[in-house]
Amino acid sequence: MKIPSSFLVAAVAANIHFVIPEVSAQAEKFVPNYDEAKIPDYVLPDPLEGVGSADDWAKKRAEIFRLIEREMFGKAPRYSGEKIAFAEDIPSFEILDGRARVSQPLLTIAGQDVRVLMIQPANVSAISAVPAIIGYNFGGNHTVISDPRIALGTVWGRGGEGERKAEDAERGKSASRWAVERIVDAGFALVTIYYGDVDPDFDDGFKNGIFAQFPAPKPDEWGSIAGWAWGLSRVLDFLEQNDRGIDAKRVAVFGHSRLGKTSLWAGASDPRFALVISNDSGCGGAALSKRAIGETVGRINTVFPHWFCDNFQRYNDNEAAMTFDAHMLLALIAPRPLYVASAEEDQWADPHGEFLACVAADPVYRLLGTDGLPQKEMPKVNEPIQGTIGYHIRTGKHDVTDFDWQQYLQFAAKHLASGAGK
């Protein structure tokens, strides 16, 4: 089902909070399966079918990419290559007792003002350019750390409530998800952006954000996840084009939940990202859709019809017809390092299915000369495994924790310290 965009646009213009009755009713009727015994029989497509050697992978990868692009995320416009315009309208400043420096360049991306929050080791000018972790935040840059000097922009309600000015009381409310001090002390910069600056997260018929500068998407063209991934690539362009003390060849892309899906597609569609991290990305991300456990394709497309291209809706309650799955998405990142993480209580995101996707992507990684995933049995809770594919399942719920960041930084230090993963 695709919600009529005219209805949504009118409601947004009037700043009306609304609930679409059809979506609400279908969401309430949905009863997720959490019983492994009730998973339907399925066969995963072989990403290496027809591949005889590593030399054959480039052609096969291109075929898989086009398939997933056409049937799931949608094709994004080609970047014309112009230099990303930006302004330094806020002075930089130091935090963490002088160990880190904060800057907030304002980028112009497809006509949108996109405020970037950059937190990096303060001694960056005295050392070689540092690696970085780039990722979206959900609530605005001011929620990442509590500091009155972080710009308060506008934020969008996820239900289509329209824009509002961010509030001082929200400063630092998501700080527990970002481990800023740990990231800086590990020698990494953090680059984060509010995802609503690129595209508001509701089905408005693609009339806001970067989509306003382009024709309405066709059934095989980009949805919001592809749009957010495209935006991350433009921020990477900015880092390449300007000396910011960051090594643009050693940038890891990170995301949680829907933004974990985004980080995976960003890594798959832009090989310049040297390392990819997916945190609790679930259905449409690292979890195998054919298992139909927890959130399903039909459920995600009903509640969030703007995330994927319209073609993906043909697999609603029809996962058996998919000639691709999450393991092939993960394989597109090979041989670059990939970390997938799950949470024990986040059964909605199917932790076992996320691990199985890593297992099924492993042959591609090994074909390309890496050590892939170190083991094929689901690891115990809080016992990470790290090869060129890393994985852990931790105690707790759908969230990003300090435990997660400890593993990500250990993994990133191993693979990016000397430029590995380029």
Helices 57-68 and 258-269 sit at what angle, rounded to 10 degrees? 140
**CB 194 within 8 Å of CB 144:** no
CA distance 155 to 162: 8
**CB 73 within 8 Å of CB 51:** no
Active site (annotated) includes residue 257: yes
SS3 120: strand
Q: How far is CA 188 from the centre of its chain?
A: 19
CA distance 306 to 308: 6
Q: Which of 224, 233, 257, 263 is catalytic?
A: 257
H or E stretch at 216? none
Active site (annotated) includes residue 103: no
Q: Which two tokens stand for residue 44?
A: 């995963």
Based on the number of CB atoms within 10 Å of its own CB, is 414 exposed (0-12), middle (13-18) or buried (19 or more)?
middle
CA distance 320 to 322: 6
Q: Which of 5, 92, 174, 398 is catalytic?
A: 398
Q: Which residues are catalytic?
A: 257, 398
